[in-house]
C-alpha cells in the first residue's frame, strides 16, 4: 500500500471499516504522520459529539452500504506545502474538508444511517437525487456547525427528540428516536414557534421511527418547535393539538 493510499484512510479508520491488516498498517502510519493523526482526532471528536445527541442502533445493512458508497468517492491526500511557502491557506482548506467529512461520518454512525437513507431514496427517485444530496449536505452542516447547540426532551410513548440550532447558519435540525407510527393517512408535521404563531418547518417520514430532519426555512426569531399529527401531505396551519412543544437551546 502506497503512502498516498494511507493518507486516504482516515475516515474508514474512524468508522472501524478497515480490515485487520489495513488497520495495523495505518496505525503504524499514524505514528509518523501528524496530518493524519490530527485528522483522525478531529473526525472522532466530532462524530462522538453528535452521536451523544441520540443513541440509535444502526440497521444491520448500514456498514455494507456505507462501505459500498465510500468506495465510489476517493478522499484526497493531505496537501504538503512547498518548502518556504506558508501552509495557512492549505491548512484552512484541510480543516473545512475534515469538518465536512466528520459531519457525514457522524450522521451515518451516530444517527442510524440517515445520510445513507437519503441517498437510497434519491436512488429510488432519480429526478430528486440532486435535491436529496443538497438537503443531506445542509443537514450535515447544521449538525457540525461550530456554534451548534442541542436540547433533548422526551416526547410521547417513550420517544425522544433533539433540537439542534446553528445560529450562524440561521437553521435548525430535529432528531427523533423511537417515534410511534402515526395513524394511517397521517404524518408528523414540524412547526417553528414564532411567539405563539406556528410556521411549517416540514414533514417527517411516517415510515421511520428514527430520523434526522433539516427544518424547512430559517430559524429567525422562533423560540422553539412543535409537533402535530396532520393529514398526509401536511397542513398550512396545525389542525391538532401539539404532541410536543420544545424550546430551542439557549444560543
Q: What is the DSSP string of 188-230?
A: EEEEEEETTEEEEEEE--TT-SSEEEEPSS--TT--EEEEEEE
Task: Give yes or no: residues 50 and 159 share one domain.
Answer: no
Q: How far apart are CA 96 and CA 88, in angstroms?
A: 13
pLDDT tens digit at each of 251 positions of the chain: 666 677 777 777 776 667 788 888 889 888 988 888 888 887 776 665 555 554 555 666 666 666 666 656 555 555 444 554 444 444 444 444 444 444 444 544 444 444 444 444 444 444 445 666 677 778 888 888 888 888 888 887 788 888 999 999 999 999 888 889 999 999 999 999 998 899 999 999 888 888 888 999 999 999 999 999 999 999 999 999 988 899 998 75
Task: Give yes or no: residues 40 and 111 share one domain.
Answer: yes
Task: Give yes or no: residues 101 and 189 share one domain.
Answer: no
Give the residue numbers spanning the domain of 163: 147-247
Within a domain: 57: yes
Task: Give yes or no: residues 101 and 23 share one domain.
Answer: yes
Within a domain: 104: yes
Within a domain: 14: yes
Question: Are the beta carbons of 225 and 242 closer than 8 angstroms?
Answer: no
The side-by-side arrangement of strands in the sheet containing 244-247 is 197-203, 186-194, 224-231, 244-247
Within a domain: 133: no
Task: Give yes or no: residues 155 and 111 share one domain.
Answer: no
Within a domain: 177: yes
| pTM passes above 0.85 | no
Task: Give yes or no: residues 161 and 76 share one domain.
Answer: no
The side-by-side arrangement of strands in the sheet containing 149-154 is 149-154, 160-166, 171-177, 211-214
Domain count within the chain: 2
Amino acid at each position: 500500500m502506497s503512502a498516498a493510499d494511507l493518507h486516504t484512510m482516515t475516515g474508514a479508520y474512524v468508522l472501524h471499516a478497515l480490515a485487520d491488516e489495513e488497520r495495523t498498517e495505518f496505525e503504524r502510519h499514524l505514528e509518523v504522520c501528524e496530518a493524519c493523526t490530527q485528522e483522525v482526532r478531529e473526525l472522532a471528536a466530532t462524530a462522538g459529539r453528535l452521536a451523544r445527541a441520540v443513541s440509535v442502533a444502526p440497521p444491520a445493512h448500514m456498514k455494507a452500504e456505507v462501505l459500498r458508497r465510500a468506495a465510489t468517492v476517493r478522499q484526497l491526500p493531505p496537501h504538503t506545502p512547498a518548502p518556504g511557502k506558508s501552509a495557512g491557506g492549505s491548512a484552512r482548506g484541510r480543516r473545512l474538508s475534515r469538518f465536512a467529512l466528520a459531519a457525514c461520518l457522524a450522521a451515518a454512525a451516530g444517527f442510524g444511517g440517515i445520510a445513507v437513507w437519503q441517498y437510497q431514496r434519491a436512488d429510488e427517485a432519480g429526478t430528486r437525487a440532486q435535491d436529496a444530496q443538497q438537503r443531506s449536505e445542509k443537514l450535515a452542516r447544521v449538525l457540525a456547525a461550530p456554534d451548534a447547540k442541542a436540547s433533548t426532551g422526551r416526547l410521547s410513548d417513550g420517544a425522544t427528540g433533539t433540537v439542534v440550532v446553528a445560529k450562524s447558519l440561521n437553521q435548525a435540525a430535529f432528531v427523533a428516536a423511537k417515534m410511534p407510527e402515526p395513524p394511517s393517512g397521517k404524518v408528523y408535521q414540524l412547526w417553528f414557534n414564532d411567539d405563539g404563531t406556528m410556521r411549517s418547518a416540514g414533514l417527517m417520514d411516517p415510515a421511520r421511527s428514527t430520523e434526522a430532519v433539516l427544518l424547512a426555512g430559517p430559524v429567525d426569531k422562533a423560540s422553539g418547535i412543535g409537533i402535530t399529527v396532520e393529514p398526509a401531505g401536511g397542513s398550512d396551519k396545525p389542525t391538532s393539538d401539539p404532541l410536543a412543544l420544545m424550546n430551542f437551546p439557549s444560543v
